[in-house]
Structure 1
Amino acid sequence: MSVVTEQTGGCQCGMVRYRVRGELGYPHICHCRMCQKAAGNYFLPLAAAKREHFELTRGEPKWFRSSDLVRRGFCGDCGTPIFYDIPEADFINIALGSLDDPSSVKPVMQSNTGRKMSWFHELDGLPVEAEPETPDREAAIAASNHQHPDHDTSQWPLGETHDG
């Protein structure tokens, strides 16, 4: 299954931004240990973009060669994991959490489930922490937030220009 659309995304601080026109194919969740380490999480959701449909729109990622085959792209400023890349392939994998609208791409497969956390099935049974959503709380968060918004901007941080 693939999703036909235009997607934008980037890192948390906004120094690395990208656009994908066309399909995001094979949206899946990888449970392998390398993806766990690269994401700093229990799994890494990914989808493939054809290289001819992919462009960096701001900045350049830093790269870490996690194996002879794969390199991982991340923001050198904030550390956000963004790409899983096999340089010889005709596609680049996008970390789905880096999309401006991550809810728009639903995974259709899981891979490397031998490393999947054995207790995932218990998550829905955990108590839910009550978080009051008051106007004061929302205003305090907005006033202290340094995260890039979930859309493209002509410059970021606001009032500054970064060449990229």
Structure 2
Amino acid sequence: MTEAHAFPQARGGCQCGAIRFTIAPGLAKASLCHCRMCQRASGNVFVPLYEIPAERIAWQGVEPQEWASSNISQRGFCPTCGTPLYLRTGDTYEIMAGCLHPDFPFTPADQGGMEARSTWLDALAKIPSHDTTPALLAQVVSNQSAE
């Protein structure tokens, strides 16, 4: 487990905008989880998580729904668009970093669940990369919240 570091205020929310949140500045832990449960909960190969105490988060809009993914934790999501928002264990939230505002300085300091880590991740730095083409972006009409 990583040590907590000081982070600024954070803002974020779900894809459709029905749920927004603000996290007060303070100590937090930024990490990546590769465990099979996080993979399945996010539909991805790993989850970047921002761990904070519950008293630091203020929810706005629709109340998140929760599902008990295990006997010790709940997974929170938007009931409108289905965006996975967090893992909650007791009074601790681990916010999915993709829900944070894009300018938030999220820098993971630890990785867990390495027993399920996808080995092809090692090759990412060698694979050619590109931006989304302007022609494709011009065709897209997004239903996502602007925030």
* TM-score class normalised by the smaller sequence: 0.7 to 0.9
1:84 alignment partner, one of 79, 84, 87: 87
Shift of 1:81: 0.6
Which of residues 47, 51, 64 in structure 2 aligns to 1:48?
51
Structure 2 unaligned regions, length at least 5: none
**Which digits, 9 at most, give the CA deviation of each residue in 1:60-96, with x for residues without a partner?**
111110000010001112111101101x23x211110
Distance 1:74 1:9, change over 3 A: same
Structure 1 residues 140, 32: CA separation in 2 closer, same or farther (over 3 Å shift)? same
CA offsets per residue over residues 28-70 of structure 1, 9 Å max, x none?
0001111001111001110112222111011111111000001
Q: What's the Cα RMSD here?
A: 1.9
2:105 pairs with 1:108 = no
Q: Tell me the amino acid that sits aligned with residue 113 of structure 2.
A: N
Question: Percent of counterpart pairs with the same letter?
Answer: 31
Residue equivalent to 1:149: 146
Please, what TM-score do these two structures have when normalized by structure 1? 0.79
Based on CA coordinates, which of the two structures has the bigger radius of gyration?
A: 1
CA distance in 1, matches of 2:30, 2:124: 22
Check conservation: 1:5, 1:22, Cα contact below 8 A. yes
Aligned pair in 2 of structure 1 residues 138, 131: CA closer, same or farther (>3 Å)? closer
2:36 partner amino acid: R
Counterpart code for 2:70: S
Gapped regions of structure 1 (runs ≥ 5): 151-164
For 1:9-158, what aligned pairs fall within 5 Å after superposition? 9-23=12-26, 25-86=28-89, 88-89=90-91, 91-101=92-102, 103-129=104-130, 131-133=132-134, 137-141=136-140, 144-150=141-147
Deviations 1:107-143 (A, max 9, x none): 1110011110011111122233564335xx54443xx
Aligned length: 144
**Structure 1 residues 94 and 131, CA, compared in 2 at 3 Å: closer, same or farther?**
closer
- Counterpart of 2:42, as a letter, is A
